[in-house]
Amino acid sequence: MRKPQKKTRQEEALSHFHQLFRQASAVAKANPALADRYVLMARRIAMRNRISMPRQFKRMICKHCYRFLQPGTTARVRVAKRRVIWYCRNCKKYSRLLFSARKSA
Ligand SMILES: [Zn+2]
């Protein structure tokens, strides 16, 4: 049996991420522990396939304690000095993300 191509594995992992994060955000309010489990599964998929997590998913994970971050429930989000600041309510640490002004056509 042939090993699956790298491309298809990446695409598979990507669809997994979409699914896991959708589920995580659905349960985050009622069951934060379950949301954290989904995030852990997503991270494991990324590590196993040796791919980096897409940006839109990466920012939903606390980089200090790897918990699921959801604005309003598990995280606080502020914008200051061209940065998006995520405050994790679990470990009480901040993550700062730079955002660049998107060039409009
Ligand atoms: Zn944290």
- Output the CA torsion sign for 19, 21, 25, 27: positive
**Residues near 43 by beta carbon (within 8 Å), at least 6 away in sequence:** 53, 61, 66
73 DSSP 8-state letter:
T
Q: How far apart are the CA of 86 and the centre of ligand 1, in A? A: 9
Residue 1 lies in a domain: no
Domain count, the chain: 1
Question: How much is the pLDDT for 102?
Answer: 62
Q: How far apart are the CA of 63 and the centre of ligand 1, in A? A: 7
CA 63 – CA 40 distance, rounded (Å)? 12
pLDDT in tens, 19-65: 999 999 999 999 999 999 999 999 999 999 898 888 889 989 999 99
Q: How far apart are the CA of 88 and the centre of ligand 1, in A? A: 5
Residue 12 lies in a domain: yes
Question: How much is the pLDDT for 57?
Answer: 92
Token pair of 29, please? 């309010």
Closest by alpha carbon to 24, among 63, 52, 66? Answer: 66
Domain range for residue 72?
Answer: 6-98
Q: How far apart are the CA of 54 and the centre of ligand 1, in A? A: 19
Neighbours of 54 (CB within 10 A): 14
Q: How far apart are the CA of 62 and the centre of ligand 1, in A? A: 5
Residue 27, H or E segment: helix 6-27
* Contact (CB, 8 A) for 78 and 87: yes
Residue 58 lies in a domain: yes
pLDDT in tens, 67-93: 999 999 999 999 988 889 999 999 999
Band of the pLDDT at 100, cuts 50, 70, 90?
Answer: low
